[in-house]
Structure 1
Amino acid sequence: MKKSCSIVIPTKDKLSRLALTLKCLEPQVTEDVQVIVVFDGCKEETIEGFSNLNLSYEIDPIISEKNVGRAAARNLGIAEAIGDVIIFLDDDRLTERDFINKHLSYHEEEPCVVLGERMDLKYSEEAILDLAGEETIEKTLSEIQKGAHKEFYYNIKKWFLRKPRHALRYIAFITGNVSIDTCLIKQLGGFDESFKGWGYEDTDLGYRLAKENVKYIADYSIICYHMLHSHVRGQKSNEELKNLDYFKAKFPRDKTLQKVIGLYTIKASLRL
């Protein structure tokens, strides 16, 4: 029997990207698909703009007046999820027409984690609005595919997905394009909300799933396209370093994990 799913999308004042993300999902959403958008401390104009979107399917909005952060926002979505499987998608990722069905096809037997491909796109705000105005999803996707390229770091991380139970497979666990059986993520208590700001709340969950011997499946035909956006570089790196310190203190006895965190720390420090 085909399983139902809940798609959890946290968002923070990126309405044009969110609108395009939701448009790309439109041909795929059926009565067995719940779409949850978590507004994480968004401005009033973002909420108002969302309410004016013209979509053919219902969305379950969750509005947090306070900005609670990536981990807590996703947990709000998890709490409202009614599907057998949760697909995590970001508010700036565009999906191809078979995205949902391909994810669900792997969850018919034992509970697992499914990771897809991640492609990068660099578009101006004007170009994003132009894409949103395309008449059909086919035209939108055709334009997107022309300028997409593989995400550099994820391309490296794929090495750890060669085997379904590779000891370091959690390194490739990134929430922009991943599905998990709902029973698994609720059993583990969702994301650790002590991770604040940017970084590693997803790696932490991936690590805990791996420690439970959960199988990871990689299917690089499940594609999403990331619309890149700017970050305040120093702020992002400082948040990253704080989260790495917390991650390191959380699992002090895992020497291999400590080495992995050490490498991440060097990378983050070089970006300051």
Structure 2
Amino acid sequence: MKVSVVIPAFNARSKLRLLLYTLAHSVLDPEDSFEVVVADDGSTDGTGEMVAELSGHDDLTYLYLPRTERSSRAAARNAAIAKATGELVVMVDADTVVGPAFLAEHVRYHRLRNDLVVIGARPDLGDGDFDEERLRREFAFDAMPAVAWGDPREKVLAEFSGNMNRLAICWHLLFSCNASVRVEHLRRIGGFDEAFLGWGLEDTDLGYRLRQAGLAFAFSASAVAYHQRRRGIDAGMYDDWVRNLAYMTAKHQAPEVAIQSIAGLAMNPAGGRIGWVEAMRCFEVAARALDGRPPVSRTYRLMVVEEDTVETAMAELAARGATSDLLIIDETRGAELSGPVQCMDTPGELLYFHRPSATRRAEILGRYPVAAR
């Protein structure tokens, strides 16, 4: 499989250089390969000169897009996607760095099914310096600041289930700083909507349209893009988001799109009324009600998977899921069932939790009644 890594960039020369250094250390299976496409959205900081110094390889393409009043991340990403020659597009932002297994993890999930959107984790690094020379030679965690904040979407998954595909708001949780989808699906729906200007929701709109087109969604905690700095939402960004939400709501005329306004309760820099994770919890509950999946009493069939029972569980999963609501507790170190569970379509509920603590396990079993064997 050939992977096209598409990166929009605007005056992010030093950050983009670190990303390109770390992408160069990517390790893929022999039958796989990757290219990088950078869409420079009118940078004036020497981004083009920096990329030219690193180029000279067929696997790095640089596009310069003159800055206009219609410039946007959506337009930059579309330009990069148009140049992609791979069958799989992996989207990352210029202010991230990635480990050697990053691309391989995206590819691994896409081998499970063809109609899939993979969302990777994006934790935030804290303050500190990068050892650029060392990162040029190798990827090393001690060559960059430590992780200061985890990806809040993982808390949402821990609340409802690690099965992203069963979340009613899975499309809203697509952050294009770390996501992948086969290029055929992006082109079929027309890519990003370039009417989204300023900050916010162009990737959410893409996620919604991919979901409406029938694609499945999966979250990979192992396909990690580390955000080089934590940026708060300022008043201008929030105003952009509100304007883009109004556009998206009018565009789709769908109640699940309109109730994204719940997120605004957490995002307003003038004083969010609730936290972001709590806003997502409310959004998910409301979206499930709209989807005809209100919280009703169900009885689940429990599957506890250990290292030595993975193969048996894999063999039984589809048959059990066809006839029962399943609650899976995966005790394997590598979350062996995370990908297969998220890539499986079942008529009922399919809940998945990876190595919950004893306290958390008791909470799960208290919330979801389990049928007697």
- Show structure 2 runs of 5+ residues with no match: 272-373
Higher relative contact order (CA 8 A, sep 6+): 1
Q: Relative to 1, partners in 2 of residues 1:231 and 1:41: Cα closer, same or farther, differing over 3 Å?
A: farther
Q: Deviations over 1:106-126 (max 9, x none)?
A: 2223221111111101335xx
Q: Deviations over 1:77-124 (max 9, x none)?
A: 111111010000100111111111111122223221111111101335
Choose the corresponding residue for 1:106, options 106, 109, 112. 109
Q: Relative to 1, partners in 2 of residues 1:115 and 1:232: Cα closer, same or farther, differing over 3 Å?
A: closer
- Show structure 1 runs of 5+ residues with no match: none
SS in 1 for 2:5: strand
Distance 2:142 2:57 in 1: 22
Distance 1:24 1:257 in 2: 36
Q: Relative to 1, partners in 2 of residues 1:17 and 1:88: Cα closer, same or farther, differing over 3 Å?
A: same
Is this contact kept in 2: 1:161–1:172, CA < 8 A? no
Number of the residue aligned with 1:233:
234
Distance 2:139 2:233 in 1: 34
Number of the residue aligned with 1:118:
122
Output the amino acid matched with 1:142. D
Number of aligned pairs? 262
Is this contact kept in 2: 1:237–1:269, CA < 8 A? yes
Number of the residue aligned with 1:8:
6
Is this contact kept in 2: 1:87–1:179, CA < 8 A? yes
- What's the TM-score, normalizing by structure 2? 0.65
Q: Relative to 1, partners in 2 of residues 1:82 and 1:271: Cα closer, same or farther, differing over 3 Å?
A: farther
Number of the residue aligned with 2:91:
88
Superposition deviation, residue 57 in structure 1: 6.8
SS in 2 for 1:52: helix
- Which segment drifts farther, 178-187 or 226-235? 226-235
- Which segment drifts farther, 182-191 or 37-46? 37-46
Is this contact kept in 1: 2:17–2:50, CA < 8 A? no
Distance 2:22 2:187 in 1: 28
Q: Deviations over 1:163-193 (max 9, x none)?
A: 4243321121111111101111110000011
SS in 2 for 1:65: coil
Superposition deviation, residue 132 in structure 1: 1.1
Identical columns (%) = 27
Q: Deviations over 1:196-240 (max 9, x none)?
A: 010000011111111122111111011110011556812111111
Q: Relative to 1, partners in 2 of residues 1:163 and 1:90: Cα closer, same or farther, differing over 3 Å?
A: closer
What are the equivalent positions in structure 2 for 1:45-194 lying under 5 Å apart? 45-53=46-54, 58-67=59-68, 68-108=71-111, 109-123=113-127, 127-128=129-130, 131-134=131-134, 136-139=137-140, 141-144=141-144, 146-152=146-152, 154-158=153-157, 159=160, 162-194=163-195
Superposition deviation, residue 245 in structure 1: 1.1
What are the equivalent positions in structure 2 for 1:186-265 lying under 5 Å apart? 186-228=187-229, 230=231, 233-252=234-253, 254-259=254-259, 261-265=260-264
Is this contact kept in 2: 1:89–1:176, CA < 8 A? yes
**Computing the radius of gyration over CA atoms, which structure comes out larger, 1 or 2?**
2
- What's the TM-score, normalizing by structure 1? 0.87
Is this contact kept in 2: 1:191–1:202, CA < 8 A? yes
Is this contact kept in 1: 2:9–2:40, CA < 8 A? yes
Distance 2:228 2:117 in 1: 24
Distance 2:161 2:74 in 1: 24
